[in-house]
Amino acid sequence: MKKLAMSVALSSLVVLAACQPKEDAPAASTALETPEQRFSYGMAYNMGERMVAESLEVDADAFAAGVQDALSGAESKLTDEEIAAEMAAFQARMQAKMENEAEEAGATNAAEGEAFLAENATKEGVMATESGLQYKVESMGDGAKPAATDVVRVHYRGTLLNGEEFDSSYSRGEPAEFGLNQVIAGWTEGLQLMPVGSKFTFYIPSDLAYGSRGAGAKIGPSSTLIFEVELLDIVTPAE
């Protein structure tokens, strides 16, 4: 939330640094004829786009008045203490809004995940472990199975329930290597079921994935994930 608040503050500082106050400032104009006018409009428009992208609730007239007062050297209509208080209140409102949205999204994702897994469990070839991890054997290799402390080399593709891809070693054009004790629980458990040379599909409940926190911009809270995984090799066997 500090980032959101600072976005407004930094944007204002950029405007103040780029423009020199004028004692006799002309009336606002929509003309975009001079380099100064075009630069000023472009900067303001970019600021507006960032505010929209960050869902900042800004009153355009009040914002413009604040910039104009600063550029003209007029005394602020709010004291430093009042500005600080409003910034803190804004942060609190945005934090509450984000938490509420995350809670709602998490509840929706959890319900969709439960329904998906319940139906998926009835499909031919889908098996489940005691933890709730579901998997399907696409092809079975004949190599060794890794232990939880092994480093493995894999190719994989991860998708959401709607089919959207959020990560893929195939897309990057090279396999990934990682320790099985350094990944989500669904992977740690699932890879130990796979002999080298196998390809499985994992259906991972949120509590075995990223839970209520989600991960990055694409994996929302309480998301059930699907991974296609090929176990290529055990790089560092456990001792």
Catalytic site residue from 41, 90, 116, 166: 166
Catalytic site residue from 41, 167, 178, 233: 167
Catalytic site residue from 200, 202, 203, 227: 227
Look up 167 and say whether it is catalytic. yes
Give the C-alpha separation, 25 to 65, whole Å. 13
Catalytic site residue from 156, 200, 202, 203: 156
In the three-class reduction of DSSP (H, G, I as helix; E, B as strand; rest coil), residue 112 is classed as helix
Looking at the chain, the number of H-run helices and the number of E-run strands are 6, 7
Say how many C-beta atoms besides its own lie within 10 A of residue 50's C-beta: 14
Look up 227 and say whether it is catalytic. yes
Look up 210 and say whether it is catalytic. yes
Look up 226 and say whether it is catalytic. no
Catalytic site residue from 63, 202, 203, 210: 210
Look up 156 and say whether it is catalytic. yes
Give the C-alpha separation, 147 to 135, whole Å. 18
* Nearest partner of 99 among 218, 214, 223, 225, judged by Cα: 214
Look up 202 and say whether it is catalytic. no
Catalytic site residue from 116, 184, 207, 233: 184
Say how many C-beta atoms besides its own lie within 10 A of residue 204's C-beta: 27
Task: Locate 138 and state its tokens.
Answer: 């696409």
Give the C-alpha separation, 80 to 82, whole Å. 5
Residue 135 in contact with residue 205, Cβ under 8 Å? Answer: no
Could you list the active site residues?
Answer: 156, 166-167, 184, 210, 227
